[in-house]
Structure 1
Amino acid sequence: MLLYAWGHFRPSELELVGRDESPNLPTLLARVLDANVHRLLRRGLDRGYLSQVEEGRSVRGRIQVSDIAKRQTVRLRGTAIYEYDELSPDVLHNQIIYETLLRLARSEGVEQKTRHEVGLTARRFRDVSRVHLTQGIFRRVVLSRNTSQYALLMHICELLFHELMPDPEGSQTQFKGIQDDKTRMEALFEEFLRAFYRAHLAGREVVAKEYTWAAGPQDAPGLALLPKMRTDITVRSPQETLTIEAKFNRKVLVPSQHGGEKLRSGHLYQLHAYLSHAAHYQAAAAHRGLLLYAQREQPIDSQLTIFGRPVRVATIDLGQEWQVIHARLLKLAEI
């Protein structure tokens, strides 16, 4: 799911590489990072020109006249101060990987054997310095076509940065667990579904579609107060439009004041609004709706007709084998 959401799934590049059983998500991410770093090390770490300032009798670069005058190096020691550029692996993206490996090697949430292997990999970054990781540091990484192999590694390191929390004593780190963060998991679920359908529904446009409210101009200031109307996933062809709302709630059904459990009304209202506006702007096409939940409890698969439009409410169990998930998602889109 992460590979799809990060844009690193390539159907044409899939190979049968066997299976690796991991006891938990932290260990899985540590192994994925370690394996990709090993491939990176075989190719060689990226290097960049870094400015160095030295003092010596033989000048290797640009003479720093002001520093020489301030420190009187020529008169006192017969030396000059000069600056030069040197190719070094001590660049930001390597520093982020190195620091993440060190954190994983101290993490209680990672299997001991994997911690040891990650620690050995970190030792190979001998010419890379440590860096203080912050949320903003990942935005400072600039990659080019020649360093595109770092993109996946940066995604993994950023995810681990958010999930690895210091323990109370400060000597190790603990894995917080992305599954417990509803906001981030819902965003990840949406990105995954959008990327999945974009990869597998040939000949169809797959986007997050933004509609303008079909509202009258009687009250212009009121129009400015309307929120954005943006679908999670819209799958379009000239003949048909499928609007998908993706939800990552712990409970799909909620108790009703009249007894029993019902679907969440807000989710149905939201999907109905999207379908109505889709039909307004693309009247010639047939319109369907899918309210798709990541399954946490009981499975649901119900088909309804609301205002003449087919609406399906279903769950997808992300804990199943990938082949089952793949087939289920295609079936829900009726491919």
Structure 2
Amino acid sequence: MSVGEGRIGRIPVRNIWLLFLYASDLARFGDRFDAALIEDGADLPSLVARILVHAVERRLRRSLSTAYRPCQAALTRVRGRIDILRTDANRLLDRGQVACRFEEFTVDTPRNRLVRAALDAIAARVRDRDLSRRCRTLAADLDRTGVSARRPTPAELAVDVISRNEAEDRLMVAAARLALDLALPTEDSGSTALNAAERDERAARKLFEKAVAGFYAAELRAKDGWKVNRGTHLDWQIEDATSGMRDILPAMRCDVVLDNATAGRRLVIDTKFTHILTSGWHRARSVRSNYLYQIYAYLRSQAGRHPLADRAEGLLLHPAVDAAVDEEVVIQGHRIRFATVDLAAKDPGEIRKRLLDLALRPDLAPA
């Protein structure tokens, strides 16, 4: 990846880093990385590497987490359960052995293997030779403790649940995921090739969507009554349908739903990484009709299903491309807002404030 003059397209790398920070859930670990952000503001791989190195070094000082894993082996004494079929089929008793199935306590867990894979990957991307060497040294340290180089599968990671008492593991795994996902869209030449569709629709859109969801999960506090739901699947209120209709009916999944029972508010957010306005048939500018229909369906389809659903608000959120937009309309009792956030802002704090204002609605606060 190559970054020219600290920017990727029109967006400063510092702000891309802010998106990655929230998208990867690293923001929940507080302000401990602010100094690194200022120091290395134009080198995103180095930022990620420093966070990962910091987390892994702290974890190694306290010893890696361990877990039981299922094993099977031919042993000279019984351990766990005997595999009678395998013992008989291989005539192991003739050699004084027995096939056993047992569980082994090990550091070679999916999360530790994920971290080792991340260290190897990020070491090849950072420009700082000393930092790259530290990443490779830590990967070698993990190897010596028994962590293999085999990268875990998504299924293995899905069942490797991190407990509430393993905060250091949460930080380490979040940093590792970010390191492995580090393939930013850029117009400059680099080691990672992305075609136009992947740059615009896959990488940038997914990053923006995850960053917005991660931002609200990190910044809106439960003690203030907020509940943040990401990637919420919505069901149609079907009264009758033919036998094959359910198989072809489009699914509905909104990016973020913010609920506050205390304030009696529900905000359904749908993010797009495109121009918020387009040319209309009879006017110079128009909101994209398919986006309006989409957010309208999200709101009206849930009427009567939840105490907050009947007056739920909608927010179509886009990055500011040509101009800033902030307009709203009330349709059938639902307030729908069309707004942009300036990702090219000089101060990342402006992005944070804008996203908070969009959710908290200071314009509607009582005098």
User: Normalization by structure 1: what TM-score?
Assistant: 0.70
1:22 Cα deviation from its structure 2 partner: 3.9
Identity rate of aligned residues, in percent? Answer: 25
User: Which whole-Å CA distance do the structure 2 matches of 1:36 and 1:312 have between them?
Assistant: 40
1:122 aligns with 2:139: yes
Q: Which runs of 5+ in 1 are unaligned?
A: 73-79, 166-171
What's 1:316 paired with? 341
User: Which whole-Å CA distance do the structure 1 matches of 2:168 and 2:331 have between them?
Assistant: 47
What's 2:354 paired with? 328
User: Which whole-Å CA distance do the structure 2 matches of 1:215 and 1:129 have between them?
Assistant: 50
What's 1:272 paired with? 296
What's 1:250 paired with? 274
What's 1:188 paired with? 210
What's 1:290 paired with? 315
User: Which whole-Å CA distance do the structure 2 matches of 1:38 and 1:130 have between them?
Assistant: 18
**How many residue pairs align between the two structures?**
313
Report the secondary structure of 2:148's partner residue. Answer: coil
1:247 Cα deviation from its structure 2 partner: 1.6
User: Which whole-Å CA distance do the structure 1 matches of 2:165 and 2:233 have between them?
Assistant: 35
Aligned ranges 1:11-160 → 2 under 5 Å:
14-15=30-31, 18-20=34-36, 21-48=40-67, 69-70=94-95, 89-107=107-125, 110-113=126-129, 114-125=131-142, 126-127=144-145, 128-132=147-151, 134-139=153-158, 141-144=160-163, 147=166, 149-160=168-179
1:130 Cα deviation from its structure 2 partner: 1.8
1:314 Cα deviation from its structure 2 partner: 0.8
1:9 Cα deviation from its structure 2 partner: 4.8
Deviations 1:264-283 (A, max 9, x none): 11111122233334555559
1:93 Cα deviation from its structure 2 partner: 2.7
User: What letter matches 1:261 in structure 2?
Assistant: R
Q: Work out whether residues 274 and 318 of structure 2, in 8 Å CA contact, stay in contact via their aligned partners in 1.
A: no
Q: Work out whether residues 73 and 99 of structure 2, in 8 Å CA contact, stay in contact via their aligned partners in 1.
A: yes
User: What letter matches 1:332 in structure 2?
Assistant: L
Q: Work out whether residues 240 and 287 of structure 1, in 8 Å CA contact, stay in contact via their aligned partners in 2.
A: no
Report the secondary structure of 2:265's partner residue. Answer: strand
Shift in alpha-carbon separation, 1:54–1:266, aligned structure 2, 3 A: closer
Report the secondary structure of 1:23's partner residue. Answer: coil
1:3 Cα deviation from its structure 2 partner: 5.4
1:7 Cα deviation from its structure 2 partner: 5.2
Report the secondary structure of 1:266's partner residue. Answer: helix
Q: Which runs of 5+ in 2 are unaligned?
A: 1-18, 185-189, 363-367
Report the secondary structure of 2:224's partner residue. Answer: coil
1:119 Cα deviation from its structure 2 partner: 2.1
Give the counterpart of 2:261 among 215, 226, 237: 237
Between 1 and 2, higher relative CO (CA 8 Å, sep ≥ 6) is seen in: 2
Shift in alpha-carbon separation, 1:60–1:143, aligned structure 2, 3 A: farther
Shift in alpha-carbon separation, 1:36–1:260, aligned structure 2, 3 A: same
Q: Work out whether residues 299 and 309 of structure 2, in 8 Å CA contact, stay in contact via their aligned partners in 1.
A: no
Deviations 1:1-23 (A, max 9, x none): 5555555654xx73566422243
Q: Work out whether residues 241 and 285 of structure 1, in 8 Å CA contact, stay in contact via their aligned partners in 2.
A: no
1:143 Cα deviation from its structure 2 partner: 4.0
What's 1:77 paired with? none
1:332 Cα deviation from its structure 2 partner: 1.4
1:26 Cα deviation from its structure 2 partner: 2.7
User: Normalization by structure 2: what TM-score?
Assistant: 0.65
Shift in alpha-carbon separation, 1:24–1:175, aligned structure 2, 3 A: farther
